[in-house]
Amino acid sequence: MLEITRTAQRPRSYVRHRRDKNPERLDMTEGANEGANLLYGVPAIAAFLNITPRQAHHQIEKGGLPTFRIGGVICARKSSLNDWLEAMETAARTTGKS
């Protein structure tokens, strides 16, 4: 399940771990359920936001991302994340930060 790969540009001691895609933790829009709004698991949330799972966990822990749990698995709705991003953008514009 865990694959270790070495990258050509990095020192030999550097290894990158990549987990195989677990179908239970993928974005629920893949496959037959094209209209779903649910992101199931932190990897799916991170992929939607184009950040790393570690960054997503950090945002969740500090209460930044609108998430909930289903059976212990962290989930989010795409619509809620889009609303959150829009609110962050609006707040940044009103305070003068970019």
Full pLDDT tens readout for the chain, 98 residues: 555 555 555 554 444 444 445 544 544 444 445 558 899 999 999 999 999 999 999 999 988 899 999 999 999 999 999 999 999 899 888 887 55
CA distance 65 to 58: 9
Q: CATH number for the domain including 87?
A: 1.10.10
- Ramachandran category for residue 38: left, alpha or beta (phi over 0 → left; psi -120 to 50 → alpha): beta
- Would residue 17 count as lying in a domain? no
Residue 59's domain comprises 22-95
**Number of domain units in the chain:** 1
Q: Please compute, for residue 69, the number of CA atoms within 13 A of its CA located in the half-sphere on the CB side.
A: 4
- Would residue 6 count as lying in a domain? no
How many residues would you count in the chain? 98
